[in-house]
Amino acid sequence: MLEGYFPVLVFVLVGCVFGFIPIIVGRVLGPYRPDKEKLSEYECGFNAFEDARMKFDVRYYLIAILFILFDLEIAFLFPWATVFREFINAGDATGWFVFGSVMVFLAVLVIGYIAEWKNGALDWE
């Protein structure tokens, strides 16, 4: 019953070997000369000048969420665009139904984009 999973197990094991061998070789053969600067929190040469837990402006999060939203919409459109010709060449009403449903999807997307634009979510001051 589990014979079909054997190639997956081999793939995972080979991946782990190729992942851990360079780490082990680097640890064994690489030089280890710690000093005060290398063991400090910041290797850039100067101490932190602000708190690492400072609050960010909400606009960063808003822009990130909008990017993810519109990026996912493109991920939905790509499979449709690759098989659209097959639906149109089928010769029945299925192609036009698919085309109409995607146009409704794009209309909702454009209306959302315009609403974001009008509300100032994309303005950066």
Token representation of residue 74: 């493109």
Interacting residues of 79 by C-beta distance below 8 A, sequence separation 6+: none
pLDDT in tens, 13-50: 999 999 999 999 999 999 888 887 777 766 565 666 66
Q: Which of 70, 74, 72, 59 is nearest to 119 (CA)?
A: 59
For the question of whether the overall pTM of this predicted structure is more than 0.85, the answer is no
The rounded distance, in Å, linking the Cα atoms of 58 and 124 is: 12
What are the boundaries of each domain within the chain? 58-118
The rounded distance, in Å, linking the Cα atoms of 96 and 88 is: 7
Residue 102's identity, in one-letter code, is V
